[in-house]
Chain A
Amino acid sequence: MNLKDPESMNVVIGNVLRYGVLLSAAVILFGVVLFAAANGTSDSSTMLRYFPNQLPHGIFPVSYQSLVGGLVEFNAISWIQLGAIFLIATPVSRVLISVFLFAAEGDRLYIVITAVVLTLLLFSMLVTPFIPGFNA
């Protein structure tokens, strides 16, 4: 594919989005199968209890360690969380790849615009959750 051809941008971005959602859906579905195997039809409504005065607010863990540990142990919750992370990462990868696609087209103005969007996006996703006073 010739990346200088403006039409190739539509194809590449379309594919990034398509494969991102398919991967995410497959991982979530795998988590659902694990969940059904582990819990059957037993009542799991304790999962829906919300604790306003503790962090995290749910009874399911959200740390990096618990996620990795859970994946290794084929924990259903961890696999569903991984699928959600893939879903969240899909638009981010789309912005990242757009920077390179505009670079291939030689469109300097849009390289800058897209790089600024990417920087703001990563700052907002990864940094602001840990700045005291933000998101309070």
Chain B
Amino acid sequence: MIIFEFVLIIFLVSIFAGVFGSIVGLGGGVVIIPVLTLLLGVDIHFAIGASIVAIIGTSSGAASTYVKDKITNLRVGMFLELGSASGAIVGAAVAAYANSAALELVFGVILIASLVPTILKIGEEIPKSPELKGLSKRLSLKGSYPERDGKTIEYNTTRPAAGLIGTAVAGVLSGLLGIGGGAFKVLGMDLGMKLPMKVSTTTSNFMIGVTAAASAGIYFVRGDVNPLLVAPVALGILIGAAIGARILLRSRNRTVRLVFALVLAVTAVQMILGALGVTV
């Protein structure tokens, strides 16, 4: 009987993770990994394997809605995937030599630091649209999305390099640790490229599936993708992502940013604790 309750807990937690993950543009690993390891005593490697599946589920499950409703910026997503896809390969190549603990500490501290500009922007509904010039213009990195009241919001972007750095860091982290990348994608687009918050989180959500898929092969071959965990995680996360996508469509940008700031703080603390040897 132990298995039934075990699977049920994972399923319910995954629904919750899918709702939050799809709104803030991250994968939900921030919720799933500590529940699996701390509460249920699952080995961290299986937890990371389950988290990879969760990220892909959150991404594809919510993106089908976001893309059809034209909130995701497809060109920004495709362009920034250049960063995450190359970053994932670099992460895999240096995994044997890199000091993961030191990297987690560095990136955890960067996330803490990025809380400051994120909190300073709390309350902002639509950013002042920058002038479209240079590479952003050449790459048509602009767009429009429908707001809750039916109005169409037009926006431009700036500093594509900042976005690319964000996704490259996300890719390296994903290749090295399997986790923690989504926050850097959102930050690159929000603080760097000046996209509206909902466009940033939904475009991040669109990309995280590809980043996680890039690292999924190795986890599968290693036997880290455990079917007993995959089944409840995938089914729960897909239900959660469908719910989360509907919530985001009705949310204000400022609400999404507030939730993102909270998740950002938790992610940062987790990474720093992980670096110090506390697995959460």
Asked if A77 contacts B227 (CB within 8 A), the reply is yes
A134 to B78, CA, bound (A): 26
The contact of B46 among A41, A50, A94, A98, by CB within 8 Å, is A50
A39 to B68, CA, bound (A): 41
Asked if B85 contacts A121 (CB within 8 A), the reply is yes
Asked if A124 contacts B226 (CB within 8 A), the reply is no
Give residues in B with beta carbon < 8 Å to A: 1-4, 6, 42-43, 45-46, 53, 56-57, 59-61, 63-65, 67-68, 70, 74-75, 78-79, 81-82, 85-86, 88-89, 92-93, 95-96, 138-139, 175, 209-210, 212-218, 220-231, 234-235, 238
- Known A18-B64, A21-B60, A113-B78; judge A124-B92 contact (CB<8 A): yes
Q: List 6 A-B contacts (CB under 8 A).
A: A41-B1, A48-B228, A55-B222, A58-B226, A94-B60, A136-B96
Size range of the chain A interface in the assembly: 35 or more
Complex contacts, B218 vs chain A, CB 8 Å: 128-129, 134-135
Complex contacts, A114 vs chain B, CB 8 Å: 78
Q: B-side binding surface: helix, strand, loop or mixed?
A: helix
Q: Mark A117-136, 1 if CB is under 8 A from B, else 0.
A: 10011011110111001111
Asked if A50 contacts B43 (CB within 8 A), the reply is yes
Asked if B223 contacts A17 (CB within 8 A), the reply is no
Complex contacts, A45 vs chain B, CB 8 Å: 2-3, 6
Task: State how many angstroms separate the Cβ of B155 from the closest Cβ of chain A.
Answer: 17
Q: Using a CB-CB cutoff of 8 Å, which residues 13-58 of chain A contact chain B? A: 13-15, 17-18, 20-21, 24-25, 28-29, 31-32, 35, 39, 41-45, 47-48, 50, 52, 55-58
Asked if A41 contacts B4 (CB within 8 A), the reply is yes
> Is A68 part of the contact surface with B, judged by Cβ < 8 Å?
no
> Is A110 part of the contact surface with B, judged by Cβ < 8 Å?
yes
- Known A28-B235, A84-B227, A128-B92; judge A11-B56 contact (CB<8 A): no
A129 to B92, CA, bound (A): 9
Known: A85-B220, A87-B57, A125-B216; 18 extra A-B contacts, CB below 8 A, are: A10-B67, A10-B74, A35-B231, A45-B2, A48-B42, A50-B46, A57-B223, A57-B224, A62-B222, A62-B225, A84-B225, A88-B220, A90-B209, A91-B60, A113-B79, A113-B82, A124-B88, A135-B175
A21 to B64, CA, bound (A): 9
Complex contacts, B215 vs chain A, CB 8 Å: 124
Complex contacts, A44 vs chain B, CB 8 Å: 3, 228
